[in-house]
Every structure is written in C-alpha cells, then in structure tokens.
Structure 1
Amino acid sequence: MSLFRLDASIRTEGSVSREIADEVERAYLDARPGAEVVRRDLGTAPLPADLWTTAVAAGYVAEADLTPEQRGALARIAELADEVLAADAVVVGSPLYNFGIAAHLKTWVDALITDPRFAPGSTPLAGRPVVLVVSRGGGYGPGTPREGWDHGSGWITRILRDVWGADVTVVETELTLADVVPAMSELRPLAAEKRERARVDARTAGERVAAVTPAA
C-alpha cells in the first residue's frame, strides 16, 4: 500500500495546504499502519521550467536524433509518472496563488501529460482515489466580491478527474490570510471555523481513501 503526496506551497512553516494535507495523511496511516508515503515537494524543489518544453520538442524528433537534454527530460518525466502510477492513493496540496494554481504545480501537470501514459484520453488514474486540498488566502465563495476569481481549483480538479479519471475528493478552506492581514481581522473567527471544518473533512477523506484502497 502506498500514498503519493504532492505539495505545492512555497511555505514550509505556516502553510495551510500542508497542514490540511497532514490531516489526510495521518488519517490514512491511522487506518493503514505501515503504508508507504511517497512525497514530492514542488514548493521546495520545483521542477525545471523547461522540462515540459524540452519533452514536447522531443516528440517531434526521431528517437535516434534525440539530444541528451531531450532524453534526460523524457527519462525524468517517466520517473514522475512512475511514482504517481505506483501509488494506491494520491493527495495533492494546491494553494491559490494570484487567482490560479502554483506555477510549479502547472509545470508538473504539463510534464506528466507529455508521458504517453498520461496523455489526454488515457485516463491513467481511472477510479483511483485522489484528495485535492485547496487553500485560498481570501474569500471566493458565493456573494463575495471575488466570487469566480478562483481560476485554479476548477482547472486542477478537471485535470485529475476528467482528464486522468481519478475519483477526486476536494477539501477546501479559505480566508487563510486573515491572521496576518490587518484588514481581514474581522474575518478571523470565520477563518478559524473554515480551517477547523477543513481539518475534519481532511480526516474523513483520509479515512475514506484508506477504506477503498487495496489491502496488503
């Protein structure tokens, strides 16, 4: 049994997406003692920005004519694909940055799609449980001034669920900047409520994922 965890927050201390993903992981391990957790941290170790473009260029070249850089990019992407495909379940932490997903998370998705196993139409994660943890610094819910400004969460959900076929559970929280932004001070009680709700939802999701993954 194994859980693949992907973090995208550029913060290691105080990251809410990491905090909530921790809850998913703990719940999974409580239900599946001894399960392996494979981690990739895009926030602290981002993939090279040219990984995707190099691999795309390799797709237009005969195998015998590939450059060392192109061969290296294809090999690196195959490794990225292998670690996802080897997992029984997946957790993805996706903080909202500038109204979209983190650039390094987008690079990871773009890179994987160049692997034939992850190409559109291949549904490599068909039925596999994935927990997507979304954190947003502000408020984007119905009736808020920035309703509809979250252009990242829907996109990554569509990739995981509709392109790759995963069984996606979304755990989300917002107003995460309320504790540090004076102008948001009145929202701190609501922010705390949303954060606690996300912790509960995360544990429920972790337990659910553990229940549907194969036994050892």
Structure 2
Amino acid sequence: MATLLHIDSSLNGDRSHSRAVTAAFTAAWREEHPDGTVIHRDLAADPVPHIDATAYYAGYVAPGDRSPEQQEASVLREQLIEEAESADVIVLGAPLYNWSIASGLKAWLDHVIAVGRTTMTESPTLAGKHVIVVTSRGGSYRPGTPEEGNDHLEPYLQMVLAEKLGMKPEFILPELTLAPVTPAMASLVPQFEESREDALAAARTQGRELAARLGD
C-alpha cells in the first residue's frame, strides 16, 4: 500500500496558496490510491518544537546506549524520521517567508536531517525518494525582476533535499500571490492567475503520475 507524506508550513490556513496546491496534489494521489495512506503534518497548526541539544546529540549515540533523557528526547525525532522513511512520496508546502523557509519547516528539517542515517552515510534512508516542493511567493524572483537573486528558499531546499539527503526534489512555483490584494500589483493579477492555474495543473498531473508509477 502506497504512502504519501503531506507537509504544510504556511501560516495562512485556508487562504494559503501553497496549501491549495499541495491539496490538489494529494487529491489526485487519492484518486489513484483510494486505499493508500496519507500522513498529513501541519507545521503551523501543530508546530514541531525546535530540536534541543539533548535530542540532537542523541543522534550520535546508538539507541541502546542512550541515557533515559536522550531516549525521551529522541521520541519525536524518531517519529518524524520514520514518517519520512515510510513515505513513498512527499509533498512539501514551502512558502517563501522573508526570503527563505518558514521556521516551522526548518525545525522539521533539523529533526529529519540525521547524520549517519538520513545523511552523511553510504546508504541514506531517504535517498531516491520523490519530494514535490510547492514554493509559493508573494512576488517574483525570476531573472530580470527587482528581487532576482534574493530567493534563498529554492537553492537551500535543492541543496538539502538533493545533495544532502539524496532525494529527488521537483519544484512547483505559484508566484505573485500578493497581486490580488496589493493595489500596486494590480497589473500583475493576470500573471498571478496564470501562475496559480499552472501550479494547480502541475500538482494534479504529478500527483496522478507518481501514484500511477508506484502502482505499476
């Protein structure tokens, strides 16, 4: 039975553009795998605590050798890593906040990046796993725009997910999401609408295709 791990980190609830796109992906996935498993983590509604020193350094100790404090501190980290390891595909909502990722998503990554297990080992446990990253943003950071070069989200996630964890990230980018509510951006509303529809279509297509591939 196929498993999808669906992660959202937007602060905007039902108004979120990234959540709309991740939801479209998951709906398409469910159509292909109605009996499959979907694990949903909402890092805004149910935040993952930032990793502390006890949990972090427990990762360098064999489970059987951990102190009671390290064992207790490792429970959540083990759960988060096992969720990622058990998933056949991950869809990750990662809106751009202050030119980078949301702090809740960073906290999740800090738990999941585990030296000797998910990274910096000959056989990282997440290697080869497909991850669809929905990275929405209020403006545009494309070449030639005033904000060109200031997107520190996609390069960071590309490095972490692909180079360090060995995963296969693909990015869906709904942009100009502030255009409908910002008078100065009114002329960009048609571009926003096109970007949103393209993102929703891409999410549905990839949801179906990845689910079907696993069903082959």
Bigger mean CA deviation after superposition, 21-30 or 206-215: 206-215
In the alignment, which residue of structure 2 is the partner of 1:128? 129
Task: Confirm or deny: 8 A CA contact 2:58 2:66 kept in the other structure.
Answer: no
Please report how far the alpha carbon of residue 38 of structure 1 lies from its aligned counterpart in structure 2 after TM superposition.
0.6
Which amino acid in the other structure matches residue 107 of structure 1?
A
2: CA distance, partners of 1:118 / 1:92: 17
Q: Which runs of 4+ in 1 moved over 6 A?
A: 60-63
Please report how far the alpha carbon of residue 66 of structure 1 lies from its aligned counterpart in structure 2 after TM superposition.
3.1
Runs of 5+ unmatched residues, structure 2: none
2: CA distance, partners of 1:200 / 1:208: 12
Distance 1:87 1:57, change over 3 A: closer
Please report how far the alpha carbon of residue 65 of structure 1 lies from its aligned counterpart in structure 2 after TM superposition.
7.0
* Identical aligned residues as a percent: 39
In the alignment, which residue of structure 1 is the partner of 2:200? 199
In the alignment, which residue of structure 1 is the partner of 2:104? 104
2:164 matches 1:190: no
2:153 matches 1:152: yes
Please report how far the alpha carbon of residue 119 of structure 1 lies from its aligned counterpart in structure 2 after TM superposition.
2.9
TM-score (norm 1): 0.90
Task: Confirm or deny: 8 A CA contact 1:169 1:205 kept in the other structure.
Answer: no
Please report how far the alpha carbon of residue 90 of structure 1 lies from its aligned counterpart in structure 2 after TM superposition.
0.9
Over residues 93-143 of structure 1, what are the superposed CA-to-partner deviations in whole Å (9 max), with x where a residue is unaligned? 100000000111111111112364213334322222211111011111111
Bigger mean CA deviation after superposition, 26-35 or 94-103: 26-35
**Structure 2 residue matching 1:27: 3-state secondary structure:** helix
Distance 1:17 1:61, change over 3 A: same
2: CA distance, partners of 1:23 / 1:202: 6
In the alignment, which residue of structure 2 is the partner of 1:170? 171
Aligned residues: 213
Please report how far the alpha carbon of residue 72 of structure 1 lies from its aligned counterpart in structure 2 after TM superposition.
2.1
Bigger mean CA deviation after superposition, 55-64 or 105-114: 55-64
TM-score (norm 2): 0.90
Please report how far the alpha carbon of residue 46 of structure 1 lies from its aligned counterpart in structure 2 after TM superposition.
1.2
Query: CA RMSD for the aligned pairs?
Result: 2.0
Distance 1:83 1:172, change over 3 A: same
Distance 1:65 1:159, change over 3 A: closer
**Structure 1 residue matching 2:45: 3-state secondary structure:** coil
Runs of 5+ unmatched residues, structure 1: none
